[in-house]
Amino acid sequence: MALPRYGEAALCDVLPSVLGALGLPGEENILGLPSSSRYCVLLVDALGWNLLQAHPAQAPFLSSLTGRAITVGVPTTTAVSLTSLGTGLPPGRHGVVGYTSRVPGDRRRIFNALRWEPRLDPDAYQPHPSVIERAERAGVATTVLGESKFRGSGLTQAGLRGPFRTANTYGQRVAAACEAAGAGKRALVYVYDGDLDYTGHQHGCRSAAWRHQLTMTDSFAEQLFDHLPAGTTLLVTGDHGMVDVDAERRIDVDDVPALREGVELVAGEARFRHVYTTDGAADDVVAAWRSVLQDRATVLSRDEAVAAGWFGAVEARVTERIGDVVVSVDGDCAVERRSVFPVEGKLRGLHGAMTDDELLVPLLVGEA
């Protein structure tokens, strides 16, 4: 099991490095990106490094770009990664610690960060300024492109906090990104595409549907690159990879009494669980989950996971959001709780754990 490379080669280092490459004073280009006055950053949801390496025929353009692998944060899931990208911070600092986690101050309620339910104040939940805001203050023309459903969402406000422009289709995204990249003396455009992730969840990342979608995503990226204004650098990355998990390899917490003893709340997702325990039960819960899952998962106490650097530096306000016990699934397995999360059993492709297939994403650069 690999660890995130926060501050060295992680998703949270991408936008700060872009600001450094744009020449902004005080910004460090940790990733060594090429100097440019204009950057277009394309994030393809669920574009894992290993998946891309395994499918060069379906992604000839992306495979032709100069690139290497970087890590995302933990857990390897969209809400966490997009907030790390937008803020330039590890999860332990920005505080979005999973697809679901416990509502701060409420031991028995679950917060869904992707849907942002219940409606917590995003500015209070994640108080740090975004990298987009830093770029704006420095005079960079900034634009965030995404589907209309993301405009004004809690997650968008928590992580990005920049001028938002709706772009629902590939054609709209290409046109809007090219226009935005040409604005001002220096420009930063962020483009999000979620179709590969949706296809993988529904059909699996080993399916024909996923391979066809990768080809369409590759064509979109090529069209975007070909039409960007001269001198614009395209950077392509992902927020996590994906694995397929067969039905017979899945465990439901409700079917195993030992996994419920001493447990108040189970959150996270099927490949990475936050387990919140009754007072004083954490050590027993760690032992029980290790006994049941054995080599199928890495089970740590909160203190162990924090000390191991899973979440990066952890601020005091964030600590209670992390499970008393955290569980990262290794290999072909998933830990579901369908009575609480009924959709999990319907998803073919999953992510969230710390395997290379989920943790590694590409950092690809195309210079016009």
% residues pLDDT > 70 (the chain)? 100
**Residues 108-119: pLDDT tens digits?**
999 999 999 999
Q: What is the pLDDT of residues 12-66, one digit of tens each?
A: 999 999 999 999 999 999 999 999 999 999 999 999 999 999 999 999 999 999 9
Which among 368, 367, 364 is positioned nearest to 66, based on CA atoms? Answer: 364
CA distance 275 to 325: 5
Contacts of 39 (CB under 8 A, 6+ apart): 18, 21, 22, 187, 188, 189, 232, 233, 234, 235
Structure token pair of residue 115:
């849907």
So what's the pLDDT on residue 88? 98
What digits encode the pLDDT tens for the residues 204-253? 999 999 999 999 999 999 999 999 999 999 999 999 999 999 999 999 99
Query: For residue 2, what pLDDT band results from cuts at 50, 70 and 90?
Result: confident
* Averaged pLDDT, 163-178: 96
- Please state the pTM of the whole predicted model: 0.97
Q: Give the pLDDT confidence score for residue 368 in this predicted structure.
A: 73
pLDDT tens, residue by residue, 132-162: 999 999 999 999 999 999 999 999 999 999 8
Split at pLDDT 50, 70, 90, the class of 128 is very high
pLDDT value at residue 206: 97
Question: How far is it, in rounded angstroms, from Cα 137 to Cα 363?
Answer: 26
Q: What is the pLDDT of residue 1?
A: 76
Q: Tell me how far apart the alpha carbons of residues 148 and 171 are, in angstroms, rounded to a whole number.
A: 15
Say if residue 331's pLDDT is above 90.
no
358 has pLDDT over 90: yes
Tokens of 132: 């987009």
Query: 95 pLDDT band (50/70/90 cuts)?
Result: very high
Q: What is the mean pLDDT of residues 163-172?
A: 95
Burial, 269: exposed, middle or buried (Cβ in 10 Å; 0-12, 13-18, 19+)?
buried
Reply yes or no on whether the pLDDT at 339 is more than 80: yes
pLDDT of the residue at 352: 98
pLDDT at residue number 353: 98
pLDDT tens-digit map of 258-311: 999 999 999 999 999 999 999 999 999 999 999 999 999 999 999 999 999 999
* Alpha helices, DSSP H, located in 228-355: 282-293, 302-307
The stretch 85-99 carries a mean pLDDT of 98
